[in-house]
Chains A and B, each alone.
Chain A
Amino acid sequence: MNKINSIRKDWSLIETLIAEDRKILDIGCGDGGLMEQLENNRNAITHGIELNRGLAANAIARGFNVVHGNAELDLSQYSNNSFDYVILSQTLQAMMKPKDILSELLRIGSKAIVSFPNFGHWKIRLQLLISGRMPVTESLPYTWYDTPNIHFFTIKDFLNLCNEMNIVIEKSIGLTSKGKQFDINESVTGVNFFTHEAIFLLSYKNFEPIKIKSSKKVFAKNSVIAN
């Protein structure tokens, strides 16, 4: 089968973080673009959640397993460790309780992939400093009174939260506004300045999940407990 080229730069980076034949939950999956890419290029089994009714309908009509729902309310229905990866792309800043969502991601998935726009980028800092008003940029194009993004944070903030929550950053990729790619771990100061968009592969520290490994018949053990 021919490989699908990503429509979005962050999707192709997300793909590089994912091994073959894995089970994936894409939160905020839109019309299934990333799911299609991962099914096709990584032979993944994909599930998605999408809040927008029209996008969810399109994804279902394209044959994907998509639940029309709200991640902040509906993640609790998934069993522990029922996915290899849970992806939250460009959505954490729009969540009511980002910390709760992060811990949910790593409860449901062995690993989580989180991407977000960096509020510490120099252009944003400069705008706030000079104009004294909330910044409006290409990656954060909304005015303060009409934005889905209700929690602004920088890479530094995110790293601190991960540390506090005992989350291990397995890999991290930064993108400059020109699409140049680099590793975030090297020196946090400069990185926080130039990263336009950040992508993290996360897992739990010192946590060996009890995993009943199989792509299809999952969680016999969990089910017994739940029943």
Chain B
Amino acid sequence: MKTKFTTDTKLESEIAYFENINLKLESGDIIDSFKLAFKTYGKLNADKTNAILVCHALTGDQYVTGNNPITGREGWWSRMVGPNKPIDTNKFFVICSNVLGGCAGSTGPKELQNGSDVAYGGNFPSITIKDMVKAQSLLIESLNIEKLFSVIGGSMGAMQALQWAIDFPDKILNIIHIAGALKHSAQNIAFHEVGRQAIMSDPIWKNGKYFENNEVPERGLSVARMIAHITYLSENAMHRKFGRKLQSRDIISFGFDADFQVESYLRYQGKSFVERFDANSYLYLTRAMDYFDHDETFRKNIDFSHNPNNHLKYLIVSFTSDWLFPTIESKMIVNQLNSLSREVSFLEIDTDKGHDSFLLEEPQLDDVIKGFLTNNFAKIDE
């Protein structure tokens, strides 16, 4: 496999081009060529044993830490990844790539279709978490890294980490799986469907061809984001943050302005999301999450894998107030691994910050991740 690497100065990202590789997707479709935009932090050691792949969530990107040139803000996990941080880039070589189907430089609906000057839009093939991971594994291979020390992710990132354990156990030593599940639940699919309907019923969406007139289905995409954002919080967190406080006024307006702070906040979240995310990508990636289902198959896949996976260590973390990926879902993974006598650790962190807790200030999460990585790395280093 010959992979071409370039640096995109505008995106401040490395780009890996996989040409004529005929990537076969789970749907049966084939992408003949594709590219992945990625960032690396820290240094790969001489033995190449210190590489960690961080997998981003639904609306994340490769900008884990440092500056994100698209938003002009700090990377999405700056508090977790960096020098002397829990995922310490003085010690580890951290890689993060924008997922296949994403919109931050990797091949996805907004990129030009191979050999044409038209974007994919709705012609982009349906992709799954398995496909994303397959693409990542090609990237890791082309970086000449035989074994990743760890694959780490929250939410959709956790799905990818679990998929790595299933598909490429021989290429990893451990996974850190945060706020994830064996499957996307009916309730989660339902929320995604509402988001997608909001986008698709925006007249500007035009079957995904909005880019032809240089337009963006802003209304639909921002509503989708607003709904999703509610699911990332918890009732307590919302109450603590906003209560019934009014926004820039002393009395209610008896109208439909954003009277309440919570409304104003959601509108802002929706608006700023539109500026950085592609509506079609949102459709494809939410679908990929919906299709994720290892409920019936996980145990068999781990038990009878043709790739040896006995060496794998699993750290599974959930949050008490996460109702999108509740603790019970994490415990199902833990139960199945324990029934197979696998090396699994599990912690439910007590917090009211909901599903988004993994992105926020949670000292216990920091301690556990830092300790798990440091001590397990010391064991292989012996």
Contact = CB atoms under 8 A, between A and B. Distances in A.
Given A62-B371, A65-B313, A67-B334, A53 B340 contact: no
Interface residues of A, number: 30
Interface stretch (B16-24, B145-153, B286-294, B343-351): B343-351
Given A69-B346, A227-B300, A63 B379 contact: yes
Given A61-B367, A61-B368, A223-B303, A82 B341 contact: yes
Contacts of A58: 367
A98 B313 CA distance: 31
Contact of A67 (B299, B338, B375, B378): B338
B299 A60 contact: no
A68 B378 contact: no
Interface in B326-350: 331, 334-335, 338-341, 343-350
> Among the interface residues A63, A66, A79, which one has the most CB atoms of the partner chain B within 10 A?
A63
A221 to B, nearest CB: 11
Given A57-B347, A60-B372, A61-B375, A216 B310 contact: yes
Interface residues of B, number: 33
A77 interface: yes
B370 interface: yes
A77 B345 contact: no
B276 to A, nearest CB: 34
Contact of B344 (A62, A65, A79, A226): A65
Nearest to B320: A53
A56 interface: yes
A68 B335 contact: no
Interface in B268-305: 299-300, 303-304
Contacts, number: 83
Contacts of A47: 338, 343
Contacts of A220: 303
Contacts of B376: 63
Contacts of B84: none
Given A53-B350, A227-B300, A64 B345 contact: yes
Contacts of A54: 364
Nearest to A61: B371
Contacts of B367: 57-58, 61
Interface of A: 23, 47, 53-54, 56-58, 60-69, 74, 77-79, 82, 216-220, 223, 226-227
22 contacts: A47-B343, A53-B349, A57-B347, A57-B349, A60-B371, A61-B367, A61-B372, A62-B371, A63-B372, A63-B375, A63-B379, A64-B345, A67-B334, A67-B344, A67-B345, A69-B331, A74-B335, A77-B339, A216-B310, A218-B340, A223-B303, A227-B303
